[in-house]
Structure 1
Amino acid sequence: MDKIREKIAAVRAEAEAANARADDLEAKLKEITQEHTQQEREIVSLNTRNQQLESELEAAQDTIKELKGNEAEDNDYKKEYENAMRKIAMLEEELEESDKALKETTSNFREADVKAEQLEKKVEQLTTQLAEEEKKNEELVQKNKELSEQLEEINKQLDDM
């Protein structure tokens, strides 16, 4: 009888441990999902910034073309041209940095996505394991009930003797 109770207690402890592991993995999954969402927002922001930089670069290149045609007319245009060239160089650097950041964020996003998938699989496994443990526990409880009834019946028969 004590062995059955010990088995039931052990199965309950295993079920509680599986529940705790499932809760931990669900929390980790939620955290990774939040990181995933943040990275998606960052990618959108970086893409927008890239588009802005590309537009500014095109505008600056148009200004350069315009200035090249008027360069001989006025020294002021030379200054504008030089400023535009500096701005283009700066925008190209920003664009390169933005591209690097976008690539890194995309890589991190992919890694987080893989981790999320792995955690989802683990949660699924633990949920299945928990269901199996609960089923075993129910079977042991039923068996314990049957044995208790048999023991009571035997004790009643012994008392009647």
Structure 2
Amino acid sequence: MDRIKEKMNQLRLEAEQSVAKVEELQTKIKTLEQENTQKEQEIRSLQHRNEVLEAQVDKLEENVKELKAAANEGAEHGTQNETLTRRLQLLEEEAEEADRTLREANEKLRQTDVRAGHFERKVQALEQERDQWEAKYEEMAKKYAAVQKELEDFQNEINTI
């Protein structure tokens, strides 16, 4: 009788541990899903920023072309030419800075994509682990029910004796 009680207590303890582990895994899954959502938002933000920067680069490149054409036409006008040349240099520096910023944004986007893939694999692994724990929990519940039935049968036998 003590062995059965001990076995039942052990099964109860294992069931409680399984439930606790499932809850812990579900919490981890929620956390990872939130992180994944944040990363997706960050990706969208970086993509938008990338598009804005590309538009700025196009605009700046057009400005550079326009200023170069104006500089060629105004070669006779020394003062005006110097002013336009300075302006052109500033725009080229801005274009280089915008290009550098665009490259950095693209690199960050690539890194974010890599991280998102990593987290997706992690979520899949955790989901598989959760499924395994759920299967173990169901198996333990069946064993517990079988032991409970054996105990009832045993008690019925004792009572009939």
Give the TM-score category using the shorter length.
over 0.9
Read off the aligned partner of 2:12 and give its amino acid letter: R
Match of 2:34 in 1: 27
- Opposite residue 137 of structure 1, the aligned amino acid is Y
The match for 1:53 is 60
Q: Which blocks of at least 5 consecutive residues in structure 2 are unaligned?
A: 1-7
What TM-score results when the alignment is normalised by the length of structure 1? 0.93
The residue number in structure 2 matching 1:74 is none
Match of 1:141 in 2: 141
Distance in 2 (CA, whole Å) between partners of 1:118 and 1:22 is: 14
* Matching residue's letter, 2:72: K
C-alpha displacement of 1:46: 0.7
The code of the aligned residue for 2:40 comes to T
Which structure 2 residues correspond to residues 117-132 of structure 1 after superposition, within 5 A?
A: 117-132=117-132
Percentage of identical aligned residues? 25
Q: What CA distance in whole angstroms lies between the structure 1 residues aligned with 2:40 and 2:125?
A: 19
Cα distance between partner residues in 2 of 1:113 and 1:33: 9
Structure 1 position 85, deviation (Å): 0.8
Q: CA deviation at 1:78?
A: 3.0
Distance 1:121 1:27 in 2: 15
Once residues 53 and 79 of structure 2 are traced to their aligned partners in structure 1, the CA distance between those partners, rounded to angstroms, is: 32
Residue 157 (structure 2) pairs with residue 157 (structure 1): yes
RMSD: 0.9
Q: Which 10-residue stretch deviates more, 18-27 or 125-134?
A: 18-27
Encode CA deviations 1:52-108: one digit per residue, 9 max, x unaligned: 00000000000011112xx1xxxxx33322221111011011011101101111111
- Letter of the 1:65 counterpart: N
Question: Which runs of no fewer than 5 residues in structure 1 stay unpaired?
Answer: 72-76
Q: Which runs of structure 1 show a deviation greater than 4 angstroms over 4 or more consecutive aligned residues? A: none
Matches within 5 A, 1:95-106: 95-106=95-106
TM-score by length of 2: 0.93
